[in-house]
Amino acid sequence: MTRWYVASLADGDTHLAEPPSPEHLVTAQCDGRRFRPLVALPATPLDEAQICPACQAHRVGKPQSNSTRR
């Protein structure tokens, strides 16, 4: 099940990903970057500034180029 994972406390660094691998890494849907999440969120972040713009677009079915990612 895809869910939101916080990669860092920076704006735009919460990504959609599949559940962690045995190494506790997730792969961001936007650019394929692998990271160890700080936390898995139970729902979409309330603060939209946290959300990766490319992952948000992917979630609503409008893929964007990676150049929009911060």
Token reading at 23: 């190494």
Torsion over CA: 54, 25, 5, 11 (sign): negative
> What pLDDT sits at residue 19?
92
Quick one: what percent of the chain has pLDDT higher than 70?
87
Q: pLDDT for 7-59, tens place per residue?
A: 999 999 999 999 999 999 999 999 999 999 999 999 999 999 999 999 999 88
What is the number of domains present in the chain?
Answer: 1
Residue 47: CB atoms within 10 A of its CB come to 8
pTM of the model: 0.82
Q: Is residue 9 one of the residues assigned to a domain?
A: yes
Q: Residue 9 is part of which domain span?
A: 3-61
Q: Is residue 68 one of the residues assigned to a domain?
A: no
Q: For residue 62, what pLDDT band results from cuts at 50, 70 and 90?
A: low
